[in-house]
Structure 1
Amino acid sequence: MAFTCKRPAASLDGHASQPGAMCRKRRRVIGTTYDYDQESCLGRGKFGAVVKARCRATGQVVAIKSLHDPADPREVLREARFLEACGGHPHIVGFRGVTLDYVTDELCLVMDYVEGKSLKLLLSERSGGLPEATVCTFMWQLLTAAKKMHRCHVVHRDINPANILVGGEEAGRGFVKICDLGVAMSMSEAPPYEEEAGMGEYRAPEMLLGKEDYDALVDTWSLGCVMAEMLTGERIFRAAEFISLFQRIFEVVGVPDDTTWPGFTSLPHAAPPPLVPGQQSTLRDLFPEEVLSAEGFQVLNGLLTCNPDKRLTATAALKLPWFATAAANARPSAPTLLLLLLPRSTRWRCP
């Protein structure tokens, strides 16, 4: 379907028009929100809302994300490009295209709808964590997704349980998908990078310390935080204040210095917390053998390493023995709903 734009050009090929330029040619677009019936509001966050909607023509169910007003089309297209670059991976939410809010004339993202819930909600409904075998399977899936993103030069920067969808539970074939690339960045972008991207309690130490040229390893730290939370049902680095967060991290993984992390003391926010220099990690005390096997702890400890140069990459983590069974049993995830975005329906709006 094509139509003539009445707004700045919205291209997904990596090239957008200059600000203020008008689209004077016909280009591929995927309808408008007038094509859907809204069924429910799936979530509302700091930057936008996601609704479950049904295409009136096909009956197909999708998820539509809109940014809070005023939406910058460049931000929508930025996330769209990242989703498109990572497309086709079974553990990254599928991207269908952009659509136009026919009332506000704002761009929205159309994605696969995943029948299930967020990992955050799943854990909140349980008493305690998940079995180690389940955590292993989910971590294998999440690390393969991170490996895909990083190979596409995309750094998510906001991996946390709220941005991980869990489906297939009722069929006994649970799977996870990473979603919401709203604060993602391209590794081709030049530093300095934003140090406050993502949720603080899942943010890597180098980001918290003000390192301006961090890389994809911030995502593997976040995945280590997610792994710990899946095992216990609780955030490993829960803290109300910035200094308290530093203190909690260093209490658990040890206090770094320029020997264990060269350049540590020269980082902008590296004023030492009230802890003993050289204090050793207590991570194994939190995850003893009866909670996490030696093979599983090797993964957790490698992901939650302060020095990013020594931290596990997604590729390296997937080669560790803990994942041998998960890799052997890998199967395509449950099929997500496909989308044909054509004709018109009533206006949707998140209440």
Structure 2
Amino acid sequence: MEIERRRPAAAGSVFHDPDAPPLPRPSPATETAGSASSPPRCDAPAAGTRGPGSAAAAGAATRKRSRVEAFGSTEEYEETCSLGEGGFGAVVKARHRVTGETVAIKRLTDPEDGGSEELLREARFHEACSAHPFIVDFLGVVRDPATAELRLVMECVGGPSIDRFVRDQRRRGRLPLPEATVRAVMWQVLKGAKKMHDQRIVHRDIKPENILVSDDGRAVKICDFGLAMSLSEAPPYEPDAGSLWYMAPELLLEKPDYDERVDTWSLGCVMAHLINGNVLFGDGRNEEGQLREIFDVLGYPDERTWPWFSSTPFAIEVLPLLEVHHRNHLRKLFPKAVLSQRGFEVLNGLLTCNPDKRLTAAAALDHPWFAKVGALELGRTQEVSSALPKTELLKVSTVPFV
């Protein structure tokens, strides 16, 4: 089976400053934008105007008149600095000229190519999941009076991404993270995921770069609904959406009727990354290579563990050419010295190849590992931002609170 290589996306999330030093105590040196651990991101659209993630499906998630329908103006805001740029959009930090409120404003990279509809689709999904402590808050949509281009207004989260936080801990020799910290982060992101899934919305691009740390270090928030879709639409669903290293096996195998458990697989990958700072399945360069890497660790499925798998082109055409095994080696990578038995049960439950047997967000939260969750304390930073305008990505430094 020939599988085409995916285009790598610009590193980092478009909702946070890619140069902000990670918490808890920022390093003196400022890094360049992006992350060496950023996975390739799919070229294909997120089931937008061509399928089940359409604006109509997004609208079904929010029945009442919403802030998406009441456009403000970009002239209400003064842009202060760039927060980052990704494959599909760029975000600036801005201040409301009247209230002084600091926000983040996203514009699509190519607004001429169906941009308004794509942005409104994202806005509707985001609004349906907003007003939650562990999801970046949606504030509205504004229009540029000069170009009629629409932009998304969101809460500005002051801290770095989980990816940057973990890389900072690695540099400081502070990995593996304490299990209590991993548990507190996972409890929060699973709560955010449950909110989305209760609305029948699938994020499809959960990864460390899309989980941001609040400025006080006490909360983490899921961001970037650019690839989200609604389960209110009937399958088949668009399989080519997400970031390769965090994509569930059923997406890689192009299963047409996947569900919200593609997100819980991604959260399992995030949990593994939190524990030891490594991308668990980070060497894949295409679907076939990614599947082989996953199955080398978790064991190749068979009729007993995942009946549907045997009917896939991968199983029919590729599997006979490989030396396969069915043993799960995940525990060897996360021994009891770094992860308790109950913690491993959650990790293993999230990283189950057969989605029918994989933990949902709700089921994971009910696990005894989360019976006692401590407060999250990742530290606190304060931004010192560079001024606009600049054509390239602006660097934003941070200094610790004393």
TM-score band by shorter chain is: 0.7 to 0.9
Correspondence 1:64-75 to 2 at 5 A: 64-69=105-110, 70=112, 72-75=115-118
State the 1:209 CA deviation.
0.6
Correspondence 1:229-240 to 2 at 5 A: 229-240=273-284
Structure 1 portions without partners, runs of 5+: 1-9, 16-26, 335-346
| 2:133 is the counterpart of 1:122 | no
| 2:272 is the counterpart of 1:228 | yes
**In percent, how many aligned pairs have the same letter?**
53
Q: 1:258 maps to what in 2?
A: 303
How many corresponding residue pairs? 314
| 2:355 is the counterpart of 1:308 | yes
| 2:253 is the counterpart of 1:212 | no
Q: 2:243 maps to what in 1?
A: 199
- Tell me if structure 1 keeps the 8 A contact 2:58–2:229: no
State the 1:155 CA deviation.
0.2
1:37-74, CA deviations, whole angstroms, 9 ceiling, x for partnerless residues? 11211110000001111111111100111101225211
Call closer, same or farther: CA 1:249–1:98 in 2, change over 3 Å. same
Q: 1:249 maps to what in 2?
A: 294
State the 1:325 CA deviation.
1.0
The one-letter code sitting in structure 1 at the alignment partner of 2:102 is V
Call closer, same or farther: CA 1:12–1:286 in 2, change over 3 Å. closer
1:136-174, CA deviations, whole angstroms, 9 ceiling, x for partnerless residues? 001000111111101101000000011111124xx4x52
> Post-superposition, which runs of at least 4 consecutive aligned residues in structure 1 deviate over 6 A?
10-13, 347-350
- Tell me if structure 1 keeps the 8 A contact 2:185–2:376: no
- Tell me if structure 2 keeps the 8 A contact 1:98–1:109: yes
State the 1:241 CA deviation.
2.2
TM-score relative to the length of structure 2: 0.73
- Tell me if structure 2 keeps the 8 A contact 1:229–1:235: yes
| 2:99 is the counterpart of 1:58 | yes
State the 1:101 CA deviation.
2.0
Q: 1:150 maps to what in 2?
A: 197
Q: 1:91 maps to what in 2?
A: 134
Structure 2 portions without partners, runs of 5+: 1-54, 61-67, 381-387, 393-402
State the 1:31 CA deviation.
2.1
TM-score relative to the length of structure 1: 0.83
- Tell me if structure 2 keeps the 8 A contact 1:140–1:323: yes
- Tell me if structure 1 keeps the 8 A contact 2:71–2:141: yes
Q: 2:218 maps to what in 1?
A: 174
Query: For 2:307, what is the secondary structure of its paired residue?
Result: coil
> Within 2, Cα distance between the matches of 1:109 and 1:348?
20
1:21-46, CA deviations, whole angstroms, 9 ceiling, x for partnerless residues? xxxxxx96342112211121111000
Q: 2:125 maps to what in 1?
A: 82
1:224-280, CA deviations, whole angstroms, 9 ceiling, x for partnerless residues? 000000111110001142232122101111110121101111124434446544420
- Tell me if structure 2 keeps the 8 A contact 1:147–1:314: yes
Correspondence 1:300-339 to 2 at 5 A: 300-326=347-373
The one-letter code sitting in structure 2 at the alignment partner of 1:235 is V
Q: 1:34 maps to what in 2?
A: 75
> Within 2, Cα distance between the matches of 1:272 and 1:13?
37
> Within 2, Cα distance between the matches of 1:190 and 1:13?
13
Q: 2:327 maps to what in 1?
A: 280
The one-letter code sitting in structure 1 at the alignment partner of 2:268 is G
> Within 1, Cα distance between the matches of 2:99 and 2:390?
20
The one-letter code sitting in structure 2 at the alignment partner of 1:35 is E
Call closer, same or farther: CA 1:198–1:247 in 2, change over 3 Å. same
- Tell me if structure 2 keeps the 8 A contact 1:299–1:320: yes
